[in-house]
Amino acid sequence: MSAGRGSAGVFRGVGPDGGPARARVLVIDNYDSFTYNLVQLLEELGAEVVVYRNDAIDVAGIAASGLTHLVVSPGPGGPREAGVSMEAIGAMHGVVPVLGVCLGHQAMSEVFGGRVGPAGRLMHGKASEVAHDGRGVFAGLPAQVVCGRYHSLAVPEGGLPEGFEVTARTEQGEIMGMRHRTEPTEGVQFHPESVLTPEGRAMLENFLRTPHRPHPTPLSHPTPPGGPGAPGEARGPA
């Protein structure tokens, strides 16, 4: 477990009444080297961050953790190989703000009935110009942002889940972001934590500014088949 800095002048999150409240972010680590880049940025922004690998916690453990925000990290493979990720997204949707990054974004699509397939172009360590809707994680950013991409799978055109809208696209029209229409559940195909995404820190700050409930209780949502991972201890930075 790692505690955020929370020092004076550092962002501490926004409570349901709009006042300051320290964000407690639970990050599901899909065995990816980028996970702790995400953790570092979230901590620098004043959040308290706890990290569990995708096979080291179940939904009950997530709900009992006191989280105010959930982040599902990038990782290898596809959504069905991401341990508790899909079940966690389904359970915490509408309870706390949820952000899926790369594999987390793809898992979010499948949870709600969308599709994931091979990307039109293999993108590993490449940057793309991305246009966005100026809301959610993109609030207050320039109309065009540069984003770092590391993926071979993607949510295809026409594969968006019901209830979601496209929030960002490349110049070639590739879907780079989606958001639920009524709940703060959002996914990005690119990596905001990458050095190839100059505005990534601002995106994560926007995510932390999403109002959260003081004592979240999971709702009942359909979850994919397969059991959750076994409970485990939070894992600090390597």
What superfamily would CATH give domain 24-208?
Class I glutamine amidotransferase (GATase) domain (3.40.50.880)
Do 111 and 198 meet the contact criterion of CB atoms below 8 Å apart?
no
Active site residue 162: no
Q: Which of 151, 180, 191, 212 is catalytic?
A: 191
Tens of pLDDT along the chain (238 residues)? 333 333 322 344 455 555 557 899 999 999 999 999 999 999 999 999 999 999 999 999 999 999 999 999 999 999 999 999 999 999 999 999 999 999 999 999 999 999 998 776 766 778 899 999 999 999 999 999 999 998 788 999 999 999 999 999 999 999 999 999 999 999 999 999 999 999 999 999 999 999 875 545 554 443 443 333 333 333 332 2
- Judge if pTM exceeds 0.95: no
Beta bridge partners of 78: none
8-state DSSP, 66:
T
Look up residue 14 and give its two tokens.
Answer: 């926004």
Active site residue 102: yes
Q: Which of 43, 87, 93, 102 is catalytic?
A: 102
Q: Which of 48, 87, 193, 205 is catalytic?
A: 193
Cα–Cα distances in angstroms (integers) from residue 11 to residues 8, 14, 16, 45, 164, in the given order: 8, 9, 16, 5, 29
Do 218 and 92 meet the contact criterion of CB atoms below 8 Å apart?
yes
Active site residue 93: no
